[in-house]
Amino acid sequence: MNIDINMIRTIGFFLFALLILRIYFLFITGSKTETIAETDTDDVILRARKLAYDGMHNELQRYVKKELMTKYQNTELRRILADSYYKTGKHSAAAKNYEALLVITPDDYELKLLLAHSLRFDKQVERAIQFYEEIVAANPLE
């Protein structure tokens, strides 16, 4: 069998070009997937903020609870939900969400204060006092 060197070069070039195209498409496809996921989360947060701004708390709560099923680690969405519960007097639900956020950011003064208020309004005075005392101990007046 007689193989021409030009034919080997052509086949080699063709295979190299296919490899480069494959790498390029993997790169493009991968970055688009991440961008779509980030954009999707940004859109969800923007819609939640708009619902909160418009005072549509019942719709906001349904929407964010549904979104948290797939984006359960998103602290910004959970904070929006907790604040909405607090504003609508659903203090038990607000407290649960503030507690979940405090697991992630245990030194957040504002979250502790909101949790303490929620517990107080939910008639869990002893637990509220514990958080108020914790806040005062961490931030003593001089």
Question: Which tokens hold the place of 105?
Answer: 């950011």
What is the extent of the structural domain holding 119? 5-138
Domains in the chain, number: 1
CATH number at residue 103: 1.25.40.10
Averaged pLDDT, groups of 10, the chain, 142 residues long:
70 73 66 48 86 89 88 85 94 94 89 92 91 83 63
Quote the pTM value: 0.68
